[in-house]
Structure 1
Amino acid sequence: MAIPRLRPLLLVAVLLLRAFASLPTQAAARGGLDPSPGIADRKHGSSSRSLLQDQPEITEEMVRGYMSNFELESAIQDFGRRCANISRTYSIGKSVNGSPLWAIEISDKPGQREAEPAFKFIGNVHGDEPVGREVLMQLAYWLCDNYLKDPLAALIVENTHLHILPSMNPDGFALRRRGNANNVDLNRDFPDQFFPNNDDIKHRQPETRAIMNWIKQEHFTASASLHGGALVANYPWDGSRDTRKQYYGCPDDKTFRYMASLYSQSHYNMSLSKEFEGGITNGALWYPIYGGMQDWNYIHGGCFELTLEISDVKWPKASELLVIWKQNKMSMLNLVASLVKTGVHGRIFAADTGRPIPGSLMVKGIDSKINASGSFGDYHRILAPGQSYEVVASMEGYRPKRTRVMLGREATNLDFILDPDGAVRRTKPLRNDCGCSCNDNSNTGKPFLLREAYLWLYLLALFFLLALYLLFRRRMALRLAAHRHPPPKRPVAV
């Protein structure tokens, strides 16, 4: 029988089909000493800002009209029921006194992992700055009511995962003071890059630990915390190495200035500030702090965070809350939408398996990197528009690839396929929507194979195997026919 001879050919065909099925598809982008909190103020008295000075006592009249912690929790649960199709509610942990830290996720696929950027808003970091918790609930309800009829709302819901934590410090709010139930300022409780603040996790506040664990669980691209007592968009660094009041920019200073300016210019009057040029400020220039949340986010989470002061008064009258919401509405929406509308987005794949890998992305001249997600290998790199950037994707065990992009006012989609170390294959350049090719750092012109080239290769191979298979079938059929009907014997001469 000749059938066993066909088994190797059929096995090759199956392997080719499996390899073809594992090919990647093009991803569409949617988008010294341990100083106490006042160390800088003691050394440089002029650096203290007004919101750290004596504040008027918070009276019952001031509190009236604000949601209590119980009412806020009820509002969050009510939102989850009313907008269940585009949201989910969950707790990231508990406060010192056991209050759940409730969060809302808004997306067309809430709770699911997608190759999309994620943004988080955090309110009420300081207990005596409750404006953020009210404004963030207004934002959630506005998105719920308008995502089917407003293009900007639809863009956010369909192309991002927005997480909202209305109150990080419910105990401080209930006590009407800045710190939490242990009287610790939560925006001084994070590990610090310049001083070994809070290195012992056992001494860190539960609210702080909850935020840090949250960032490890979710792959946030950017975020913002809402405060009161001034009107300005604050960006890293928040402190300086020598604790002096000075401009101390982070590696992504241009990008942070762009983000802060986007918020300020979209605001009703923030950009008109006489105290802060353009309505934005570098934190260390305003006044240095240590153990702040935004710097920790950027360093340890690759998350670009702003600290937004959205009200000149720390605890304004409840009658003013709607006005404050309207003044900040477009700023908040535009900041979240910028994750999709600008920057460089894409996925990183392994050339040998075709599968996504959690590589990292760096930009030449910027000493920071972001990591792609482990689920889809997707990355979302915020960059200031209107400039040319050399983007490098890398991962241990693979050769890095780099390309140059000219980033306009719209987002650029850019996928990378990394060859394993020692690979000798030559490929064609992968084209992307910016019209550039992604070559490795050897500058030899070794490129990628396009998906279409793989397709034709496998189709030709399958056609060849099919032809061989049919040929063997024909030969077998002829042999079987010969055995069943032997030719007549010649007559024997006698």
Structure 2
Amino acid sequence: MAISRIHPLFLLLLLLLRAFALLPTQAAARGGHDLSDDGDHGSVSRNLLQDKPHITEEMTRGYMSNAELETAVHAFGSRCSNISRVYSIGKSVNDFPLLVIEISDKPRQREAEPAFKFIGNVHGDEPVGREVLMHLANWLCDNYLKDPLATLIVENMHLHILPTMNPDGFALRWRGNANNIDLNRDFPDQFFSVNNDINYRQPETRAIMNWVKQEHFTASASLHGGALVANYPWDGTKDTGKRYYGCPDDKTFRHMASVYSQSHYNMSLSKEFEGGITNGALWYPIYGGMQDWNYIHGGCFELTLEISDTKWPKAAELSVIWEHNRMSMLNLLASLIKSGVHGRIFAADTGRPIPGSVTIKGIDSKVRASRTFGDYHRIIVPGEKYEVMASMEGFRPKSTRIVLEQEAVNLDFILEPDGADGQMKLLRNDYGCRCGSGMMFHVEEAHIWLYLLVLCVVLTLYLVFKRKTASRLLAYRYSPRRPVAV
């Protein structure tokens, strides 16, 4: 009797141990290889070199301080309130607000239009982007309804401008943030798990990541200094080798980079970079970069734009740098509207928009439609033929062929439910929750073992309780007619 009672508990113990063993650890779940062998979650490998450039008071004269920039942003919001709003996406290490200017004819509304973001001052010692982006905002405000290009941009897209991502680094006059971390090495990386521990991620990085999740950005660009070139993904390679390593949308990225370079005063004339553009991994590989993360996790086509040969040029040169980059910035924005394929995805049974995905045959990447309007904006190279397919779980995919000339193609998809119970597979609320039967009962292997673990614990407690109860009733085992409460 004793052996027969212990045996089930022993089996349950084995199940518990197996469940614990099969639950994935954080490192295994995130995958990749750590670039650092210091055992400190990669924090040392992400620290900057100790040799910081010496930036004098003379060099900073004429640049806006952080306080002056904040004042300028709010002043712009007041002066151009009809086509803009100012909002914050978070704060820096030293508690400085990361303020964004949104420019649109309907800046406080969601629309089925492409969204673009410009980010400046990623590196503290590269402040040119701060000044140039304020020039851009003011130019759009001053020329709206006067200049056709300004009017096109304001009325057909939502432009978000973050003049400084790294205000603390600017104030400290060094590359990293207040913790001396290079923010353009702080994002999760596709090849190495060095930045996968969220506890070590910088607040500025988290702010950008949350921002990308909240907004439905089509494309973006960050402004840097120290070279004159338009850089595009991938920024690194699997084996850390320095060579050309293109992403699935390599042709599209080269087109975007060329739009910027060819519109620039002299970027395309570069002797170092053919056509004034470069693949990041070919130039010099980096890991944890913002550019690759945007493309992989946000479906956002981002360029890294080096717009000044000098990291910290004299303030007297800023107006010239702005003029050299003005048409490049405007043409890059306009290309999102004037080219590519745009449309919405609807459910045939309800007529409501759905957040499906759009793929191009031969290109291994997806662009997701927005939850609110089901709108998508796919950047592709003009002058070619494409097969475009829309898909959504619970619906039958649909594809069509298009010829993309120099003008954009508008293409809506109406997807039929997949079978008689297709409608039940997608019960989507206004918060974007997809609660179809397939989703509801789909559980990953790790979660199954977690549920089994809880079940085993409950069963173990039950058996222990039952055994104690049996012991208390042992004195009455010779009285079979005595009632037992269960």
Q: Structure 2 vs 1, CA of residues 52 and 143 (structure 1 numbering), >3 Å: closer, same or farther? A: farther
TM-score between the two structures when normalised by the length of structure 1: 0.76
SS in structure 2 opposite 1:84? coil
**Misfit runs of 4+, over 3 Å:** 51-56
How far, CA to CA, are the matches of 1:294 and 1:284 in structure 2?
A: 12
How far, CA to CA, are the matches of 1:125 and 1:160 in structure 2?
A: 24
How far, CA to CA, are the matches of 1:292 and 1:102 in structure 2?
A: 21
Matched residue type, 1:181: A
TM-score between the two structures when normalised by the length of structure 2: 0.77
SS in structure 1 opposite 2:82? helix
Q: Aligned pair 1:227/2:207, yes or no?
A: no
Q: Aligned pair 1:78/2:75, yes or no?
A: yes
Sequence identity, in percent? Answer: 82
Task: Kindly indicate whether the alpha-carbon contact (under 8 Å) linking 1:238 and 1:284 is maintained by their aligned counterparts in 2.
Answer: yes
- Once the two structures are superposed, residues 327-374 of structure 1 have per-residue CA deviations (whole angstroms, 9 ceiling, x without a partner) of 000000011111100000000000000010000000111000010000
Equivalent residue, structure 1, for 2:199? 202
Matched residue type, 2:33: L
Task: Kindly indicate whether the alpha-carbon contact (under 8 Å) linking 2:53 and 2:174 is maintained by their aligned counterparts in 1.
Answer: no
SS in structure 2 opposite 1:85? coil
How far, CA to CA, are the matches of 2:369 and 2:100 in structure 1?
A: 24
Equivalent residue, structure 1, for 2:35? 35
- Once the two structures are superposed, residues 421-474 of structure 1 have per-residue CA deviations (whole angstroms, 9 ceiling, x without a partner) of 1269xxxxxxxxxxxxxxxxxxxxxxxxxxxxxxxxxxxxxxxxxxxxxxxxxx
Q: Structure 2 vs 1, CA of residues 281 and 36 (structure 1 numbering), >3 Å: closer, same or farther? A: farther
Task: Kindly indicate whether the alpha-carbon contact (under 8 Å) linking 1:190 and 1:197 is maintained by their aligned counterparts in 2.
Answer: no
Equivalent residue, structure 1, for 2:434? none
Task: Kindly indicate whether the alpha-carbon contact (under 8 Å) linking 1:107 and 1:157 is maintained by their aligned counterparts in 2.
Answer: yes
Equivalent residue, structure 2, for 1:300? 297
Task: Kindly indicate whether the alpha-carbon contact (under 8 Å) linking 2:52 and 2:175 is maintained by their aligned counterparts in 1.
Answer: no
Matched residue type, 1:149: K
Gap regions ≥5 residues in structure 1: 1-31, 38-50, 425-494
Pick one of 129, 133, 136 that aligns with 2:130: 133
Once the two structures are TM-superposed, the CA of residue 201 in structure 1 deviates from its matched residue by: 1.1
SS in structure 1 opposite 2:121? coil
Q: Aligned pair 1:291/2:292, yes or no?
A: no
Equivalent residue, structure 2, for 1:490? none
Once the two structures are TM-superposed, the CA of residue 199 in structure 1 deviates from its matched residue by: 1.1
Matched residue type, 1:397: G
Task: Kindly indicate whether the alpha-carbon contact (under 8 Å) linking 2:52 and 2:174 is maintained by their aligned counterparts in 1.
Answer: no
Q: CA RMSD in A?
A: 1.7
Once the two structures are TM-superposed, the CA of residue 52 in structure 1 deviates from its matched residue by: 8.9
Q: Aligned pair 1:143/2:147, yes or no?
A: no
Q: Structure 2 vs 1, CA of residues 93 and 134 (structure 1 numbering), >3 Å: closer, same or farther? A: same
Equivalent residue, structure 2, for 1:258? 255
Matched residue type, 2:368: N
Equivalent residue, structure 1, for 2:417? 420
Q: Aligned pair 1:316/2:313, yes or no?
A: yes
Equivalent residue, structure 2, for 1:191? 188
Equivalent residue, structure 2, for 1:437? none
Alignment of 1:39-438 (within 5 A): 56-422=53-419
Once the two structures are TM-superposed, the CA of residue 57 in structure 1 deviates from its matched residue by: 1.2
Q: Structure 2 vs 1, CA of residues 321 and 280 (structure 1 numbering), >3 Å: closer, same or farther? A: same
How far, CA to CA, are the matches of 1:394 and 1:317 in structure 2?
A: 52
Gap regions ≥5 residues in structure 2: 1-31, 38-47, 422-486
Task: Kindly indicate whether the alpha-carbon contact (under 8 Å) linking 1:261 and 1:279 is maintained by their aligned counterparts in 2.
Answer: yes
How far, CA to CA, are the matches of 2:52 and 2:329 in structure 1?
A: 27
- Once the two structures are superposed, residues 77-136 of structure 1 have per-residue CA deviations (whole angstroms, 9 ceiling, x without a partner) of 000000000000000000000000000000000021000000000000000000000000
Once the two structures are TM-superposed, the CA of residue 53 in structure 1 deviates from its matched residue by: 11
Matched residue type, 1:177: W
How far, CA to CA, are the matches of 1:383 and 1:366 in structure 2?
A: 10
Q: Structure 2 vs 1, CA of residues 36 and 88 (structure 1 numbering), >3 Å: closer, same or farther? A: farther
How far, CA to CA, are the matches of 1:320 and 1:265 in structure 2?
A: 21
Matched residue type, 1:359: G
Once the two structures are TM-superposed, the CA of residue 197 in structure 1 deviates from its matched residue by: 2.4
